[in-house]
Amino acid sequence: MRVIRRLHDDERGAVLALYALGFIAIVGMLALTLDLGRAVATKRDMVNGADAAALGAAQECAIARNPASAQAVAEDLTAQNRDSATVTSFSAPDCDGATLTDIRTVTVHTQVPVDYVVAPIVGFDSVNVTADAVAVYGPVAGAAAAPISVNYETLLGCQIPTTRPNPGEVVVCPLSYPKDELQEPRWGILDLSEWDDPDAAPCHVSASEARGIIVNGGYFPEVWINPPPQPTWDCLDNGLSDSVWEELEGRELLFPVIDIDASTGQTKPGGADCTGVNPNCQIDTANVIAFVLLYVPEGGVTKHGSTVFVEAHWAGSDLTTSGLPGPAPDFGAYAVRLVD
């Protein structure tokens, strides 16, 4: 009988041990389900917040050129995204540079404490959830461009980009397109489908195609400026319809800036290769050096005889996210993007 009782007591002890193991397993599963699930959801929020913080800081660097204000933007966006979240590390080398002609980087590290609900039973109270993000910014070097060129010398005459207006102000720059400024081809419409081909001339862009590009906000896929000093070429068409100019009104577009003196063509008569520094050179291939973001107001296009006049507004500190950053001259149009 005593032996039987001992066996019975041993079985009860084994059952209790099994219950204890089962309880620990259930607690562990609850901790995984509830606490780990909360941490994973928080991680997603923190990744989104870090991305927003890096992009916001990059925009601030591009526009204000102020590392302190860029870090303040990153901290504010991090806190807005998640209560108790903080920026633990911030880096923005050369954020305060006077000019911006290359790609620069902003790096943001963030964290937030997450208190566990079930895991403290097994000795785990909380965890710090972290997230990092890197954004780059720089001049717009890749863009959905408008099919109409802008003369670099004309922009300089308007003190673009040498004199930047105060926030909220604009520089009004009258652009003129005389029929014979470029001789043949005239006016300076660009065949963006022949981008970066120095041998594409002669080329032709229909009025309907040019209008479609303008209505669409630019040419897709984006076209890229080659890193200086490598030239970027595009073929010039020999005509332009009034309806194309009219589509510019009320739109903000990225216009390719061309250096006429560095553009190429042929002398007439004779047909010898030449550059724009030759007064007899009839340019057919433009040297594109940058993009500039300009707004054309309603009624901003007029025509007198064969010359078209365009009233262009330049804000000088507008940030455009429609382009991609890269090495290029600083014309006040900047792009930012996240680094994967």
Phi-psi category of residue 250: left, alpha or beta, with phi > 0 → left and psi -120 to 50 → alpha: left
Residue with tokens 């995204």: 81
Q: Are strands 223-224 and 126-143 parallel, antiparallel or unpaired?
A: antiparallel
Average pLDDT over residues 307-328: 85
Q: What share of the chain is helix, strand, coil (3-state, %, to 5)?
A: 30, 30, 35
Q: What is the mean pLDDT of residues 170-179?
A: 91
- pLDDT higher than threshold 50 for residue 7: no
What's the token pair of residue 122? 């097994």
Asked whether residue 184 carries a pLDDT value surpassing 80, the answer given is no
pLDDT score for 185:
65
Of the two residues 78 and 316, the one the predictor is more confident about is 78
Say yes or no to pLDDT of 18 above 60. Answer: no
323 contacts 146 by C-beta, under 8 angstroms: no
Q: What is the pLDDT of residue 183?
A: 66
pTM: 0.82
Output the furthest CA–CA distance in the chain (Å, rounded): 127
Least confident of 35-44, 77-86, 169-178: 35-44
Cα(201)–Cα(235) distance, integer angstroms: 6
Query: Mean pLDDT in the chain?
Result: 86
- pLDDT tens-digit series, residues 223-275: 999 998 899 999 998 777 888 999 999 999 999 999 999 999 988 777 799 99
How many CA atoms does the CB half-sphere of 176 hold within 13 Å?
12
**What number of CA atoms fall less than 13 Å from residue 223's CA on the CB side?**
27
pLDDT band at 332 (very low <50, low <70, confident <90, very high): confident
C-alpha angle 85/87/92, rounded to 5°? 155
DSSP string, 16-65: HHHHHHHHHHHHHHHIIIIIIHHHHHHHHHHHHHHHHHHHHHHHHHHHH-
Average confidence (pLDDT) over 3-10 = 50
How far is it, in rounded angstroms, from Cα 114 to Cα 116? 6
Q: What is the 3-state secondary structure (H, E, C) of 102-121?
A: CCEEEEEEEEEEEECCCHHH
